[in-house]
């Protein structure tokens, strides 16, 4: 499930000031119902084996963990090993139900923002039914399918399940939507995971021991998002419509940006010309340059992109050897089948 709205602040606090205990208590029964039906769907669905390995890059919480850069990184590794890897996405926010392969003439309104970004790394399929999308990919020669999101989607048999966890937010207040950010209980999500991708805000960030203990014996791959381009000079007015816009603003500040103002929008927000004009007017007041994320950039009206700077990022794994160990059996298996 993808939720298009601003995440409430109380989701980040398990106790104390800001945890909104009364509101959380009122919403918790709805979370129990949501969690029950999610677990029932997972436990009663017969998963499809499409005949090729499926790597799932998912999470336990709503939005903002960094799944798409991780998916792009894995696609690049597989393709550098001469594996015909295809991406698979729900295409949230797009009108296409698929299965359809992302083309150069597609836009975010049709296929969603994330597939457009992934299509720079490999062929990417958009399908409302992941099983339909996986069948289509396999029929067109995919040797490995890398699914962006879908940890709670039981339609496909998964060869490797990577759970991406935000090192700062963790599992939030440990409550299920709408009482908290979880799509299912943390324990349930962890039980179906083969490894954790711990997405840190920066390389030297120290993750709490409490969160690390949650992972038990699961392998933990520490990673962070690094910029692929320098910052524009001068004052910047930053805006974002992603799961957690503040992560983007904080990253800009750590990189030395002169941020004069920030504007947050709901996750996967589709910008219109009037909103961009208003942002331009605000930027002129500050004599600043507009800047946003890659995911937001592809959702801007095409004729207005020239007025907005984009700050692209890439996933950096601090222990590539561990990631290689997880991927090597899949790569070797594909190569063995190709030779036989």
- What digits encode the pLDDT tens for the residues 109-147? 999 999 999 999 899 999 999 999 999 999 999 999 999
- Residue of higher predicted confidence among 219 and 3: 219
Which residue, among 217, 218, 222, has the nearest Cα to 201 in the 3D structure?
222
For the chain, what is the mean pLDDT? 93
* pLDDT of amino acid 2: 44
Indicate the DSSP class of residue 234: S
* pLDDT of amino acid 6: 66
pLDDT at position 26 over 70:
yes
* pLDDT of amino acid 293: 96
Q: What is the mean pLDDT of residues 300-307?
A: 93
- Over residues 224-272, the pLDDT tens digits come to 999 998 999 999 999 999 988 999 999 999 999 999 999 999 988 999 9
- Over residues 37-76, the pLDDT tens digits come to 999 999 999 999 999 999 999 999 987 789 999 999 999 9
Burial of 168 (0-12, 13-18, 19+ CB in 10 A): middle
* pLDDT of amino acid 8: 82
- Over residues 145-169, the pLDDT tens digits come to 999 999 999 999 999 999 999 999 9
> Which domains, ranges and CATH numbers included, belong to the chain?
44-225+315-339 (3.40.50.300), 229-311 (3.40.50)
- Over residues 184-232, the pLDDT tens digits come to 999 999 999 999 999 999 999 999 999 999 999 999 999 999 999 899 9
Question: In the block, which residue shows the tokens 């950039």?
Answer: 297
* pLDDT of amino acid 13: 76
The rounded distance, in Å, linking the Cα atoms of 301 and 95 is 17
Burial of 291 (0-12, 13-18, 19+ CB in 10 A): buried
Strand partners, 216: none
């Amino acid at each position: 499930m993808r939720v298009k709205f601003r995440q409430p602040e109380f989701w980040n606090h398990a106790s104390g000031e800001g945890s909104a205990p009364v509101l959380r208590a009122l919403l918790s029964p709805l979370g129990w119902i949501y969690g029950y039906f999610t677990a029932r769907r997972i436990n009663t669905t017969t998963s499809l084996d499409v005949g090729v390995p499926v790597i799932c890059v998912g999470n336990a919480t709503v939005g903002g963990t960094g799944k798409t850069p991780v998916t792009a990184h894995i696609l690049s590794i597989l393709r550098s090993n001469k594996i015909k890897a295809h991406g698979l996405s729900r295409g949230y926010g797009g009108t296409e139900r698929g299965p359809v392969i992302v083309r150069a003439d597609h836009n975010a309104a049709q296929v969603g923002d994330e597939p457009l970004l992934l299509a720079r790394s490999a062929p990417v399929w958009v399908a409302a039914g992941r099983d339909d999308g996986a069948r289509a990919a396999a029929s067109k020669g995919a040797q490995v399918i890398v699914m962006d999101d879908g940890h709670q989607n039981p339609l496909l048999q998964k060869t490797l399940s990577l759970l991406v966890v935000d090192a700062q937010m963790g599992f939030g207040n440990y409550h299920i939507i709408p009482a908290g950010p979880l799509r299912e209980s943390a324990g349930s999500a962890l039980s179906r995971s083969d490894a954790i991708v711990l997405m840190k805000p920066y390389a030297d960030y120290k993750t709490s021991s409490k969160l690390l203990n949650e992972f038990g014996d699961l392998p933990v791959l520490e990673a962070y998002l690094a910029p692929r381009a320098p910052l524009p000079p001068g004052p910047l007015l930053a805006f974002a419509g992603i799961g957690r816009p503040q992560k983007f603003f904080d990253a800009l500040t750590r990189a030395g940006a002169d941020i004069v103002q920030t504007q947050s929008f709901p996750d996967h927000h589709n910008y219109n010309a009037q909103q961009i004009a208003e942002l331009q007017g605000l930027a002129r007041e500050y004599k600043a340059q507009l800047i946003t994320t890659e995911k937001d950039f592809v959702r801007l009206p095409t004729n207005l992109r020239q007025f907005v700077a984009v700050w692209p990022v890439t996933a950096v794994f601090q222990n590539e050897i561990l990631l290689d160990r997880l991927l090597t059996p899949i790569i070797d298996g594909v190569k063995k089948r190709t030779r036989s």
